[in-house]
Amino acid sequence: MIPRKLSKLARILVDLSDRPVLYWASVCGFHPSNLSNWLRDRETLSEENQARLLKALSLDPDTLKLDPSRVHVWIVALHELETLTGAAEAFLEADVTMTLVSPDPDGPASLSQAPQAALLRSGNIRIVLLRKLFPAKMSESPLSQKAGTPWIRPALIPRARWKATGIASEKDAPPLLVPGPFLFDLVVGNVSIETFDALMDKSTPWEWKDVEALAKKLGVTAREIAEMIQERSSG
């Protein structure tokens, strides 16, 4: 394998981990400058050390495929989607299905501030997308970073569609409601393949109860939620 391609794949996974190079150097026992330079396409890691890094990133050094025995977590910044699309093209060979997850509105009120996440499945690869949050801008809708608010669509990912049938990839789909503690397990990858699949297979199209549940969670009216969905769908 061409070293430049290996470093490119590793860079993508390092970026999606949202961890600094220093962290991965520490995990692998490398001098940080050697790893940093290798990620810039310089020959500062031996083949053995390159393989060690790829394994730490859950990428098979021989096949360059993601480990199918675990649930991967990719942290995504919405203004830097090039990394996500590059990862999809590099690692997701089959068609991709997607669903959003949200804390159950009947759970603890404190979970109104909770992770924004989506589930992806491509063949035997399963991924949790976690939205990377930033301080809200003055021009940003106060709803935009609330838990359960639609935040990503399959149209942004190559070969992706909603798991729920009958919803266009450029439209919003209803989130799956899950218990708050389980949502936190999801976003750190602490969930079995079987549980991931069972959850994703519950995806359904929009129903009025979904709109009402989302409105209750965000403290607005169902009509406001419906209008917000319509605005995003027509935007």
What average pLDDT values come out for the chain (235 residues) when binned by 10 residues? 82 97 98 96 94 97 96 92 94 93 71 82 97 69 60 92 90 86 90 93 67 66 63 55
pLDDT, residue 177, reads 85
pTM (2 d.p.): 0.82
Question: Which amino acid, residue 167?
Answer: I
* Spatial contact of 87 and 93, defined as CB atoms under 8 Å apart: no
d(CA 116, CA 108): 16
* Spatial contact of 23 and 56, defined as CB atoms under 8 Å apart: no
pLDDT, residue 94, reads 86
Contacts of 12 (CB under 8 A, 6+ apart): 83, 86, 87, 90
* Spatial contact of 161 and 97, defined as CB atoms under 8 Å apart: yes
d(CA 230, CA 233): 5
Residue ranges per domain, the chain? Answer: 3-56, 71-234
* Spatial contact of 101 and 121, defined as CB atoms under 8 Å apart: no
pLDDT, residue 46, reads 95
Structure tokens at 200: 């994703």
Q: State which H helix or E strand residue 217 sits in.
A: helix 208-218
